[in-house]
Structure 1
Amino acid sequence: MVDTTLYGIENCDQVRRARQWLRKRGVQVRFHDFRRDGLDRATLERWLSHLPWDALLNRRGLAWRKLEPARRAQVVDQPSAIEALLAEPLLVKRPVLEAGERLLVGFSDPVYLNTFGEPNP
């Protein structure tokens, strides 16, 4: 059995869709809430070994828009993105799903289906 963790926040629509999709298919998943559980450097660096920093940074979300323009302008490379994401985990594009060695960012039915397959009848 693959250790599977879904990272996000309870009230995010995309996170809810992902959780519902996984639940319907019987996928056992641990939920990590950024508001309650935060985000640690080791986890973020593990993700960044699989993806570029700008794939994890949600520049369309409310958390990004709430940042001062000067602070947003400072996020220009991986080190500055790491500091921003650690300081404000809600800047992470959601959900993030870790399933073994697979790392998925955002929710997409076809991508999840490719990762987990159809449930057994």
Structure 2
Amino acid sequence: MEFYGYKKCSTCRNAHKFLADHGVDVPFQDFVQNPPSVEQLKAWIAKRNEGVLPFVNTKGTRYRELNLADKQLSEAEWLDLLSTDGKLLKRPVLVTDEEVVLGFDRPAYERIVTAK
């Protein structure tokens, strides 16, 4: 299991704490300091099977600063942006053998910690 987020994000900290409180010891990987590679993003996207857009943090400041709502980007362009600017990624990202969970989806987290 892998956990990615932004250390300054309270939702990410809460999700990581939820895992720890339920006996899941997984390192917190800050993807703002160390964004995922294009290859890693492609693997996550393939596992989730919903395309790249669910991985984009459309509510974030960085998204608004770059006026991305007004742009029609290809998947390759999105991958380039997401692999260089971790603040554009929806967070947190929890990767298990079976799935990729975006955001602190409490029912998904509860199911995962129950199944471990």
Q: 2:110, 2:56 → 1: CA distance?
A: 24
Matched, 1:59 2:29: no
Per the alignment, residue 113 of structure 2 pairs with 116
Q: 1:118, 1:16 → 2: CA distance?
A: 22
Q: 1:32, 1:7 → 2: CA distance?
A: 5
Per the alignment, residue 17 of structure 2 pairs with 20
Gaps of 5+ in 1: none
Q: CA deviation at 1:40?
A: 1.1
Q: CA deviation at 1:118?
A: 7.6
Matched, 1:9 2:35: no
The percent identity for this pair of structures is 26
Per the alignment, residue 100 of structure 2 pairs with 103
Q: 2:76, 2:92 → 1: CA distance?
A: 22
Deviates more, 1:72-81 or 1:46-55: 72-81
Per the alignment, residue 88 of structure 1 pairs with 85
Q: CA deviation at 1:87?
A: 2.5
Instruction: Verify the 8 A CA contact 1:53 1:77 in the aligned structure 2.
Output: no
Under a length normalisation based on structure 2, what TM-score does the superposition of the two structures give?
0.86
Max Rg structure = 1
Number of residue-to-residue matches in the alignment: 114
Please list every run of at least 4 consecutive aligned residues from structure 1 whose deviation after the TM superposition is greater than 6 angstroms: none
Instruction: Verify the 8 A CA contact 1:63 1:90 in the aligned structure 2.
Output: yes
- 1:27-42 to structure 2, matched below 5 A, reads 27-42=24-39
Which secondary structure does the structure 2 equivalent of 1:6 belong to? strand
Q: CA deviation at 1:72?
A: 5.0
Deviates more, 1:72-81 or 1:12-21: 72-81
Gaps of 5+ in 2: none
Q: 2:52, 2:115 → 1: CA distance?
A: 31
Instruction: Verify the 8 A CA contact 1:9 1:35 in the aligned structure 2.
Output: yes
Q: 1:21, 1:41 → 2: CA distance?
A: 28
